[in-house]
Amino acid sequence: MPIDLIIFDCDGVLVDSEVISCRAHADVLTRHGYPITSEQVFARFLGRSTKQANLEIETELGRKLPEAYHGDLQDDLFRSFEADLEAIRGIHDVLDVVTQAVCVASSGSHQRMRVSLGRTGLYERLAPNIFSASQVKNGKPAPDLFLFAASQMGVPPEHCVVIEDSLAGIAGARAAGMTVFGFYGGSHCRDGYAETLRQAGADLLFADMHQLPALVRRVEADAVAG
């Protein structure tokens, strides 16, 4: 079973953004009448689309979030990205050497990825093969986004490897019939997070992006041997 496509999540896999993002979401939600900590944002919403998170929050509030919330969140998030965001260590090196096609499948919006990937020099390396949950009916943990990305790239699901750092992403990749690697090298990953990803169904785990090419070769070799 050759691996013909590597599908990367964006936040926490390509860019080390999750701590920044959770902090911004917590600050802005609290200002707009929904007190929450960055730790709670991490636990509840990591890997899920903003649309899904907002629907859940609005159900609890019994009202729509104010229009100003959306603009304030974008402003805070993008300002923080421009000041502090960095690429995941080793990702540029990996993109230099992998022989498979690559693409991005993220719960984030295209606008957000233009900022985050652009800030870290990754946008021009990965465009136009950048796909967002806004392009499908159901975001992660549904398989829709991964299946859409594979279809756009012309690769069957069984020939894809997904790189994910969230439980929702791992669930979505498994539902899509794809091999999924759990990445726990982002600054948001606490002690024990690798085990959390394993229990969620990740086929392999790694914390150093430089390991990825060898892990892909290992999956291909195991498939041949099996």
> Quick one: tokens of 122?
């990754």
Please provide residue 183's backbone torsions phi and psi, each rounded to the nearest 5 degrees: -105, 125
Q: Identify the active-site residue in 9, 11, 27, 144.
A: 9
- Are the C-beta atoms of 43 and 137 separated by less than 8 Å? no
| DSSP code at position 129 | -
Count other C-beta atoms under 10 Å from residue 176's C-beta: 23
**Distance separating alpha carbons of residues 52 and 68, to the nearest angstrom:** 18
Give residue 87's Cα distance to chain centre.
13
Q: Is 76 a catalytic residue?
A: no
CA-to-CA distance for 148 and 21, rounded, in angstroms? 25
Catalytic residues, which ones? 9
